[in-house]
Amino acid sequence: MTHDLALDPALDDAALAAALVRNAGGLALQMRLEGLSAERKTSVSDIVTAADKAAEAYVVAQLGRCRPDDGVFGEEGASIPSASGRTWVIDPVDGTFNFFSGSRYWCSAIALRGEAETSETDPDVILGAVFQPQEEKLWIGGTDVPASLNGEPLAGPEEAPLGLLGTATSIQPRWLEQPLSAMPWHNAAVKAASIRILGSGSCDLARVAQGEIGAWFQHSCPQWDWLPGKAIVRAAGGTTGTVDVNGLTWFAAGGTTAVGQILDALAEVRIA
């Protein structure tokens, strides 16, 4: 079974990341097919399942075997300090609400970052991998790893104005009730050609890297929601950036022009 599969410590980082997300995603899908219940975390849509926990436990165990000196930081609570200056950031199931609802739009994701962080919210990232099990799609890319989808090179985001691009985003209903978040989001959203809210940031970012989605933005992304996709977008030649507005950090990815326009639009709506 997937969660019993031990990986070879001799795998290089990219091959290890690819194997980890493939196996974690396969385990989660297998458990969903067998039947799952969910627990609420912070809201009706912010949930966790036994598959999230089992997939993270699998990744943590394999990293303990294959990269014992590296740190681990996972969405479901894994926290192991680094002795090597490197940390793996795990999102065992990104898009859990989609996953639990029966949608195919979810993934397992992982990133490798260094400890010399440029910022706590947006550190440098070495490598990212995203696997969407029900589509059999594996995206990977990093500083020394060309961006690819199932081994084929990615063209990267289109270099075009935001007004010509379909743009993925996410904002929860409770944040739409608050002007501090809703007004900047609206100012950026209305400048796009079209808006998509699909429910998995890592799936979105991977598609930005391949050019299927024109650009992407969201606020308050934890590292596991941001770093895997950030690594792949940048490896594909795209741009990423952040801006702080009204006490929230907003994240954006895409071509240079679109990212600049998103960040400018968000920053235009500062409420004292």
Residue with tokens 């079974």: 1
206 and 106 within one domain: no
Per-residue pLDDT tens for 260-271?
A: 999 999 999 999
* Whether residue 133 sits in one domain with residue 14: yes
- The residues with which 80 forms a beta bridge, in sequence order, are 72
Amino acid occupying residue 72: V
Number of domains forming the structure of the chain:
2
| pLDDT value, residue 43 | 64
Q: Where does a domain end: 153, 184, 219?
A: 153
Closest by CA to 49, choosing from 92, 110, 108, 4, is 92
98 in the same domain as 177:
no
Buried b (16+ CB within 10 A) or exposed e, 183-198: bbbebbbebbeeebeb
Indicate if 42 and 133 belong to the same structural domain.
Answer: yes
Smallest CA-to-CA distance from 56 within 108, 2, 121, 4 is with: 108
With a CB cutoff of 8 Å and minimum separation 6, the contacts of 106 are 93, 94, 95, 96, 98, 99, 132, 199, 200, 203
First to last CA, the chain: 55
Residues of the chain with pLDDT under 50: 1-2
Q: Are residues 77 and 202 in the same domain?
A: no
d(CA 108, CA 30): 13
174 lies in which domain range?
A: 162-267
Q: Where are the alpha helices (DSSP H) in the chain?
A: 13-34, 50-66, 96-101, 173-176, 179-189, 201-210, 223-235, 256-267
| Domain-embedded: residue 272 | no
Among 95, 119, 153, residue at a domain's last position: 153
Encoding tokens for residue 139? 């995206």
Claim: this prediction has a pTM higher than 0.75: yes
CATH code assigned at 185: 3.40.190.80
Which position has the token pair 């090597």? 84
Kindly state whether residues 20 and 81 are assigned to the same domain: yes
**Which residue in 257, 262, 264, 210 sits closest to 235, CA to CA?**
210
Query: Which residues are CB-neighbours of 176 under 8 A, at least 6 positions away?
Result: 182, 185
**Where residue 100 sits, what CATH number does that domain have?**
3.30.540.10
The answer on 132 and 17 residing in a single domain is yes
- For residue 40, the model assigns a pLDDT of 67
Residue at 218 is within a domain: yes
| The domain boundary residue, chosen from 130, 153, 176 | 153
Question: What pLDDT, on a 0 to 100 scale, did the predictor assign at position 115?
Answer: 73
Please tell me the predicted confidence (pLDDT) of residue 2. 46
In this structure, the answer to whether residues 83 and 147 fall within a common structural domain is: yes
Residues belonging to the chain:
272
Asked whether residue 145 falls in the same domain as residue 221, the answer is no
| pLDDT (0 to 100) of residue 14 | 98
Q: Is the dihedral of CA 117, 123, 128, 134 positive or negative?
A: positive
